Amino acid sequence: MVDITTPNFLELLHIISGERHVYYTEMHHAQAIHQHQSHLDRFVGTPRPNVVVQLGGSDPKIMATATRLLEDYGYSEVNINVGCPSANVQHGNFGAVLMKTPDIIADILEEMNKMVSIPVTVKCRIGVDDLDSFDFFHGFVETLMQCDRPPPHLIVHARKCILKGLSPKQNRSIPPLNYQRVYELAKLYPNLPITINGGFTTTEDIRSALDQVDGCMIGRIVMDSPLFLQHIDHGKVYNNRKDDH
């Protein structure tokens, strides 16, 4: 989350819960990685096996070279974020607007995978604007799965986003959640690890989701109450899986 999962906040989460969970950085534009390459630990966060760097961008070459810089610096995983609906992100032609052109995302993924050996995953929504049918969602994922190296992990915010008329904050609450659509996708791709995101605020909800998919990403509840991680740890809700934040 931009301005939330900063390097300092990631350090706090590690103090609270160590490496029991997977932590996601803010989304950084690929160009910014080039600009800050001499001090990425201060700009992005300390490289750790359980820290995933979220990248945004639409130029395959720039995305690929940024990923190479991250790998060389010691980061162990990169995530292409195509779920952010902010106006600034749209203006830069990256984030959720790219879901309308899955071939471009596939090109980015292919180019990145040519340059690095670390995993490159994808975080998306179930739809965008009027492209919100299951057929669209399935076709979007299938395009990525046809890559030479498909994403080894898919993280899905289980609500569509509306690019015009709603703020990023409203896009986290107004479009209705549709967990079932993510669960249906998981049945079609049993060998693709899928993490669900959106609206999870109790350990009971997380435990229920983990009966259907491989992971559960939680954001707002940890932002508001970082010690919620200890409730998860004490409840052992992850059943040998790792929760993502």
List the catalytic residues: 84
Chain centroid offset of residue 32 CA: 18
C-alpha 138/C-alpha 126 separation (Å) is 9
Q: Tell how strand 120-125 and strand 78-82 pair up.
A: parallel
Close Cβ partners of 59 (under 8 Å, ≥ 6 residues apart) = 30
